[in-house]
Structure 1
Amino acid sequence: MNNLTKALMEELTVEYVKVGPLQIPESVVISWVILAIVTIGSILLTRNLKVDHISKRQAVLEMAYLAGTNFFEGLLGEKGRRYVPYLMTVAIYIAFSNLIGVFGVKPPTKDLDVTAALALMSIVLIEGAGIRARGGVGFFKSLAAPTPVMTPMNILEIAIRPTSLCMRLFGNVLGAFVIMELIKLVVPVFVPAVFSLYFDLFDGLIQTYVFVFLTSLFMKETMGGED
């Protein structure tokens, strides 16, 4: 168990990379690498797209884009269409951040600061969408729904939402690491490799889905989707 405790503390410790006179968190540097890979990959994949004579590459890209767009529009409705590009971008970033562990790189989502930043960005979007949909007066009136007595609870909910998004993503990613370390202690050969594949691939994609799904649901509720 001492080895598990040591490994856990190492995972929770924020490493820094020296860039000139600056000390930059490792998670930030890895995020830059992910963004560079995604950007370059997007440029290469979207070159020479045509309206006619569609290639297999273009057909796959269009299918993926339509699947993502239909998924989020189905959750958000017509009023939330403008927010779909942001949600798809966040989904791509979190997915790559979780999957990068396959290559032996520490995922940025194991850094609580990264998950907190993602949650804060989402809650700003959620409340901003509510204000845009309801108007300033309508949004503040919604804080007193269904009765003025609930106002403190509704305001508290605004603070709880980003906390739940942050801790759910961070906790699940870290929890997968703890389970893997326990499996290595009990069965050190072969089995850990199978479970590692599951946690690094399948579970990472599940956490991506949960994060953007909850963000979409919160947005729909704030915009008045329950009406």
Structure 2
Amino acid sequence: MQKLAEELLNELKVKTVFTIPIFGGIGISESVVISWAVMVLLIAAAFYLGSNLKVRNPGRRQLLSELIVSRLDSFTGEMLGEKGREYRSYMAVVLLYIGLANLIGIFGVKPPTKDLNVPIALSLMSIFLVEFAGIRALGAKGWLKSFTKPVAIVTPINILELFIRPLSLCMRLFGNVLGAFVIMELVKLVVPVGLPAVLSLYFDIFDGLIQAYVFVFLTSLYIKEEVGE
């Protein structure tokens, strides 16, 4: 168990890759570098699939890009509902980022979502979008009045949700990703050969994609509640 504790502490440790010599030195962590790499891959793929678009006689690359966009729009649009469909592009990007960030563990790289700062940042961005959607749909007065519904006595609880929601999103993503690591380490202690390879494939692929879906689904659910659908 001591070995497991040491491995867990090492996994939680945020390593600094390099330091930018400004303002006394700004450390750039491993999770930031990997996040940049994930974003570069997504941007490069977007430029590649979105270049040389044609109205007539589209090529295979354009057909593939249109298929991906339409499927993502349909997938996130269904979760957001009719009133929240305008935010489907943002949710699609978040889905792709978290999914790819979790999948990168297949190549022996530490997923950025194992750094608590990344889930915190993603959660805060999503909650800002949720509250912005509510203000835009209901107006400032309507948004403030929503805290008194269904009855005024629950107002403190509704206000508390402003802090509970991002905490819930953050800990679900971080906790599940970290929990997968703990399970893998326990399995290695019991069955060191064979089974860890199979479970590693599951956690690196399926569980990582499931966590991306859960994060996007919950954010979409919060948006639907805010816009009154």
Contact 2:20/2:28 (CA < 8 Å) preserved in 1?
no
SS at match of 1:143: helix
Q: Which residue is equivalent to 1:204?
A: 208
Aligned-pair CA distance for 1:33: 1.2
Indicate which of 113, 116, 119 corresponds to 2:117: 113
Q: Which residue of 2 aligns with 1:88?
A: 92
Secondary structure at 1:19's aligned position in 2? strand
Partner of 1:189: 193
**Could you tell me which amino acid in structure 1 is paired with residue 9 of structure 2?**
M
Name the structure 2 match of 1:4: 4
1:130-169: CA deviation from partner (whole Å, max 9, x where unpaired): 0100001111111001111010000001110000000000
1:103 to 2:107 alignment: yes
- Could you tell me how far apart the structure 1 residues matched to 2:53 and 2:198 are? 39
In the alignment, what sits opposite 1:144? 148
3-state secondary structure, aligned to 1:120: helix
**One-letter code of the match for 1:39?**
I
Do 2:134 and 2:227's aligned partners in 1 also have CA atoms closer than 8 Å? yes
2:16 corresponding residue in structure 1: 16
Shift of 1:84: 1.1
Residues 1:159 and 2:180 are matched in the alignment:
no
- TM-score scaled by structure 2? 0.94
What is the CA distance between 1:95 and its match in structure 2? Answer: 0.8
Q: Is the aligned partner of 1:129 residue 2:133? A: yes
Deviation at 1:73, TM superposition (A): 1.9
What per-residue deviation string (whole Å, max 9, x for no partner) do you get for residues 42-87 of structure 1? Answer: 2122222322323333323222211111122222233212211111
1:68 to 72, 75, 87: 72
SS in 1 for 2:218: helix
Q: CA deviation at 1:89?
A: 0.9
Q: Distance in 1 between matches of 2:171 and 2:126?
A: 14
For 1:75 and 1:204, the matched residues in 2 are separated by: 19
Q: How does 1:35-54 map to 2 (within 5 A)?
A: 35-54=39-58
Which amino acid in structure 2 is aligned with residue 19 of structure 1? Answer: T
What's the TM-score, normalizing by structure 1? 0.95
Counterpart AA for 1:3: K
Deviation at 1:94, TM superposition (A): 0.5
**Residue in 2 aligned with 1:224?**
228
AA paired with 1:55?
A: G
Tell me if the contact between 2:123 and 2:167 (Cα under 8 Å) persists in the aligned partners.
yes
Identity between Structure 1 and Structure 2 (%): 57
For 1:18, give the aligned amino acid.
F
Q: Aligned with 1:146: secondary structure?
A: coil
Unaligned runs of at least 5 residues, structure 2: none
Shift of 1:213: 0.5
Amino acid at match of 2:16: Y
Matched residues in 2 for 1:63 and 1:20: separation? 41
Q: Which is worse superposed, 185-194 or 171-180?
A: 185-194
